Amino acid sequence: MTAPSLAEIAFDNRFTEDLPADPLRLNETRQVHSAAYSRVQPTPVRRPELLAYSPEVARMLDLDPAVIESPEFVDVLAGNRVLPGMDPHAACYGGHQFGHWAGQLGDGRAIVLGEIATSRHGHQTLQLKGAGPTPYSRHADGLAVLRSSVREFLCSEAMHHLGVPTTRALSLVTTGEQVLRDMFYDGHPEYEPGAVVCRVAPSFIRFGNFEIFTARNDLDNLRRLADFTIRTEFPGIWPSDGEATTDHYLEWYREVVRLTAAMVVEWMRVGFVHGVMNTDNMSILGLTIDYGPYGWLDDFDPNWTPNTTDAAQRRYRFANQPGIAHWNLSRLASAIHPLVGAVEPLQEALDTFVDHYERGYGAMMAAKLGLLRFDRDTDPTLIRDLIDVLQLTETDMTIFYRSLAAFPLETGVPDWPAIETALGDAYYRPDEIDADTAHRVTDWVARYARRVRTDGRSDAERAIAMNEVNPKFVMRNYLAQLAIDAAVEDDPSVTHRLLDVMRRPYDEQPEHEDLAGKRPDWARTRPGCSMLSCSS
Q: Which residues are catalytic?
A: 280
DSSP string, 16-43: HHHSPBPS----SS----S-SEEE-PPP
Which amino acid, one-letter code, is at 187? Answer: G
* CA–CA dist 178, 33 (Å, integer): 33
* CA–CA dist 115, 86 (Å, integer): 8
Paired with 299 in beta bridges are 396
* CA–CA dist 396, 436 (Å, integer): 19
* CA–CA dist 176, 58 (Å, integer): 24
Angle at 237 between CA 235 and CA 243, to 5 degrees: 95
Contacts of 243 (CB under 8 A, 6+ apart): none
* CA–CA dist 57, 73 (Å, integer): 15
Is 479 in contact with 498 (CB distance < 8 Å)?
Answer: yes
Contacts of 174 (CB under 8 A, 6+ apart): 47, 48, 49, 51, 146, 193, 194, 195, 487
* CA–CA dist 501, 515 (Å, integer): 9
* CA–CA dist 388, 383 (Å, integer): 9
